Structure 1
Amino acid sequence: MAVTQQEIENRLWDAADELRVAMPEAQYSSVVFPLMFWKYLSDTWEHHHQEFLDENQGLDDLSAEEAREIEYRDYQSFEIPCIYPGTVQERRASWSSILATITQPGLGQRVRACLQAIETANPDKFSRLFGSMTWTSEEVLSSEVLASVMRAMNRTPKMHEGNMSHDVLGGAYEYLLKRFSDGSGTRAGQFFTPREVVELIVELLDPKGFESVYDPTCGSGGMLIASANLLKAHGGRGYTLRLYGQESVPDMAGVARMNLFMHNLTQFQVEVGDTLKEPRFKKPDGSVAKFDVILANPPYSQKWKPWNKDPRAIGGVAPQSTADWAFVQHMIASMNPKNGRAGVVLPHGVLFRGGQEAAIRQRILDDDLLEAVIGLPSNLFYGTTIPTCILVFRAPGTKALERKDGVLFIDASKRITKAKNRNVLTDVDIADVVTAYLSSFDADGEPVDAGREGSLLARLVPTAEIVANGYDLNIGRYIKQAAAEAEDLGTLIDAYNLARAERQATEAHMLQVLASAGIEGFDD
Structure 2
Amino acid sequence: MSTKINQDEINGILWKACDTFRGTVDAAEYKNYILVMLFVKYISDVWQEHYEGLKEKFGDDEEMILRRMQRERFVLPTGCSFQNLYDQRNEANIGEIINIALEHIEETNKQKLSGVFRNIDFNSEANLGQTKDRNTRLKHLLEDFNDTRLDLRPSRVGNLDVIGNAYEYLIAKFAAGAGKKAGEFYTPAEVSELIAELVNPQAGERIADPACGSGSLLIKCGNQLLKNGIKDFALYGQEITGATWALAKMNMFLHGMDNARIEWGDTIRSPKLIEDDTTMKFEVVVANPPFSLDKWGHDDAANDPYKRFHRGLPPKSKGDYAFISHMIETTTQDSGRVGVVVPHGVLFRGSSEGKIRQQLIEENLLDAVIGLPSNLFYGTGIPAAVLIFRKDRNRSKVLSELSSGPTPPLPLSREGGKLPPPAKGEAGRGCCSSTPAATIRMLRTRIG
Distance (whole Å) between structure 2 residues aligned to residue 436 and residue 314 of structure 1 = 31
2:42 is matched with 40
Pick closer, same or farther for the CA change 1:71–1:329 going to 2, 3 Å: same
1:123-150: per-residue Cα shift (whole Å, max 9, x none)? 1111122241223335542111111011
Kindly provide the amino acid, as one letter, of the partner of residue 147 in structure 1.
K
Relative contact order (C-alpha < 8 Å, sep 6+): which is higher?
Answer: 2
AA matched with 1:360: I
2:66 equivalent among 65, 68, 75 = 68
The 1:11–1:260 alpha-carbon spacing in structure 2 relative to 1, beyond 3 Å, is same
Equivalent of 1:96 in 75, 83, 93:
83
What residue in structure 2 maps to residue 407 of structure 1? Answer: 398
Quick one: distance in 1 between partners of 2:139 and 2:182? Answer: 24
- Higher CA-based Rg: 1
Partner secondary structure for residue 222 of structure 2: helix
For residues 463-500 of structure 1, the C-alpha deviation after alignment (integer angstroms, 9 at most, x for no partner) is xxxxxxxxxxxxxxxxxxxxxxxxxxxxxxxxxxxxxx
Asked if residue 354 in structure 1 is aligned to residue 341 in structure 2, the reply is no
Paired letter, 1:41:
I
The offset of 1:157, in angstroms, is 2.1
The answer as to whether partners of 1:26 and 1:184 remain within 8 angstroms in 2 is: yes
The answer to whether the Cα contact below 8 Å between 1:30 and 1:135 also exists between their aligned partners in 2 is no
Aligned pairs (5 A) from 1:235-274: 235-237=228-230, 239-274=231-266
* Pairing partner for 2:442 from 435, 443, 456: 435
Q: Between the two proteins, what is the percent identity of the paired residues?
A: 36
RMSD (Å), alpha carbons: 2.1
Aligned residues: 411
1:175-190 matched pairs, under 5 angstroms: 175-190=169-184
Q: Contact 2:197–2:440 at 8 Å: present in 1 too?
A: no
Q: Alpha-carbon deviation of 1:174?
A: 1.3
Cα displacement (A) at 1:427: 6.0
2:325 pairs with one of 319, 324, 329: 329
Structure 1's consecutive aligned runs of 4 or more residues displaced over 6 angstroms after TM superposition are none
Matched, 1:295 2:286: yes
Structure-1 separation of matches of 2:216 and 2:201: 15
Return the offset for 1:68.
2.7
The secondary structure found in structure 1 opposite 2:374 is coil
Q: Aligned partners of 2:398 and 2:293: how far apart in 1?
A: 26
Match of 1:280 among 259, 262, 272: 272
One-letter amino acid of the structure 1 residue matched with residue 91 of structure 2: Q
Distance, in Å, in 2 between the alignment partners of 1:337 and 1:424 is 29
Q: Answer yes or no: is the 8 Å Cα contact 2:343–2:383 preserved in 1.
A: yes
Moved more, 178-187 or 131-140: 131-140
Where does 1:116-515 land on structure 2 (aligned, <5 Å)?
A: 116-138=103-125, 140-141=127-128, 142-155=134-147, 156-164=149-157, 165-233=159-227, 235-237=228-230, 239-285=231-277, 287-303=278-294, 304-306=296-298, 307-310=301-304, 311-395=307-391, 398-399=392-393, 401=394, 403=395, 405-413=396-404, 425-426=432-433, 428-439=435-446
Separation (CA, whole Å) in 2 of partners of 1:171 and 1:373: 30
Query: Deviation string for 1:77-115 (max 9, x for gaps)?
Result: 221113xxxxxxxxx211101211111221111101111
The residue identity in structure 1 corresponding to 2:103 is Q
The answer on whether the counterparts of 1:217 and 1:248 sit within 8 Å (CA) in structure 2 is yes
Q: Distance in 2 between matches of 1:160 and 1:260?
A: 19
Q: TM-score, normalised by structure 1?
A: 0.75
Q: Structure 2: which amino acid aligns with 1:18? A: T
* Structure 2 letter corresponding to 1:80: L
Partner of 1:469: none
- Give the secondary-structure state (helix, strand or coil) at the position aligned to 2:154: coil
User: Structure 1 pair 7/437, CA: closer, same or farther in 2 (3 Å)?
Assistant: closer
Secondary structure of the 1:180 match is helix
Task: Name the CA distance, whole Å, in 2 between partners of 1:274 and 1:143.
Answer: 35
Structure 2, unmatched stretches of 5+, are 129-133, 407-429
Say if 1:196 and 1:430, in contact at 8 Å, map to a contact too: no
SS at match of 2:41: helix
Cα gap change, 1:138 to 1:99, in 2 (>3 Å):
farther
CA–CA distance in structure 1, aligned partners of residues 436 and 95 of structure 2: 47
Distance 1:230 1:305 in 2: 33
Q: CA deviation at 1:436?
A: 3.3
Q: 5+ unaligned residues in a row in structure 1: which ranges? A: 83-91, 416-422, 442-524
**Residue in 1 that maps onto 2:55:** 53
User: Aligned with 2:274: secondary structure?
Assistant: coil
